[in-house]
Copies of this chain bind each other. A is one copy, B any other.
Amino acid sequence: MNKICPNFDEALAGIEDGMAVMIGGFGGAGAPIELIHALVERYKKTGSPGRLTVINNNAGNGAIGIAAMIYAGMVAKMVCSFPRSSDPKAFTDAYLAGEIELELVPQGTLAERIRAGGAGIPAFYTPSSYGTQVADGKPIAEFDGKHYVQERWLKADVALIKAEVADRKGNLTYRKAARNFSPLMATAAKTTIVQAGRIVEPGEIDPEQVITPGIFVNRIVEIPDPKQEEALLREGAK
């Protein structure tokens, strides 16, 4: 068992037009910049994969990462909780021009829907969004005298995530708040593709400290010294 891929072509193989792609990260922390840009390059060269549904907490910042996907024209729909950022122009322009669809999901519901997708829970109830526009059209149920909204699981064809350390069996650790959605997304995608800053031998990650067990990971590509989205933006990346 060796999940390590020698290059982006192998790591990103099989990502096709119209797929749903979960992308880890909250703000710049955990954004798998190198994986995203390899996919953007592929799209620019081959015209594919396009018409993607992208699932992330945000909707891009500046002109890198998910914003670069939007500028390239690869994204048909965003599923996110907060499509704003310090520089949300890429998404905002496309959205106001009607070129990109938005499914707005409260952040905790987004996290729970992804977890449910990975955990085989097709639907659950949450108090979040009850009585608001966001709940329009969703089933409502009462439990113990309180109202709740039924939400469905969220799955994806592919997850692109960033880990700090990985082994060939797919065990992962993350760095600080770069963990965020990534362990959930790893469970909810058919194919989970990881960029890891460092690859170690199985057993070198303490079994007590594995955050994502290898069962949830399909492919790993090693990216030492990965770019950090927020740092890039502050350096003025275009």
Identify the A interface with B (CB < 8 A). Answer: 112, 116, 119-127, 141, 143-144, 146, 148, 152, 173-174, 176, 207-209, 211
User: How many angstroms between the C-alpha atoms of A173 and B208 in the bound complex?
Assistant: 9
B127 and A124: CB pair below 8 A? Answer: no
6 contacts between A and B (CB under 8 A): A112-B121, A116-B124, A120-B126, A121-B126, A124-B124, A208-B209
B122 and A112: CB pair below 8 A? Answer: no
Q: Which one of B112, B143, B152, B174 contacts A123 once the chains associate, using CB atoms below 8 Å?
A: B143
User: How many angstroms between the C-alpha atoms of A124 and B143 in the bound complex?
Assistant: 12
Given the known interface contacts A208-B209, A209-B208, A209-B209, the answer about A148 and B173 at a Cβ–Cβ threshold of 8 Å is no
Nearest chain B CB to A65 CB, angstrom units:
24
Chain B residues with CB under 8 Å of A127's CB are 120
Nearest chain B CB to A121 CB, angstrom units:
5
Chain B residues with CB under 8 Å of A122's CB are 125, 143-144, 146, 148
Chain B CB within 10 Å — which of A125, A126, A127 has the most? Answer: A125
Chain B CB within 10 Å — which of A116, A120, A141 has the most? Answer: A120
User: How many angstroms between the C-alpha atoms of A72 and B122 in the bound complex?
Assistant: 42
Instruction: Give me the 8 closest cross-chain CB pairs, A-B, nearest first.
Output: A122-B143, A124-B124, A123-B125, A121-B124, A122-B125, A209-B209, A122-B148, A123-B143
User: How many angstroms between the C-alpha atoms of A173 and B123 in the bound complex?
Assistant: 31
Chain B residues with CB under 8 Å of A176's CB are 207-208
Chain B residues with CB under 8 Å of A119's CB are 112
Nearest chain B CB to A176 CB, angstrom units:
8
Chain B residues with CB under 8 Å of A116's CB are 124
Nearest chain B CB to A107 CB, angstrom units:
14
Chain B residues with CB under 8 Å of A209's CB are 208-209
Chain B residues with CB under 8 Å of A120's CB are 126-127
Nearest chain B CB to A115 CB, angstrom units:
9
Nearest chain B CB to A128 CB, angstrom units:
9
Chain B residues with CB under 8 Å of A208's CB are 173-174, 176, 209, 211
Nearest chain B CB to A124 CB, angstrom units:
4
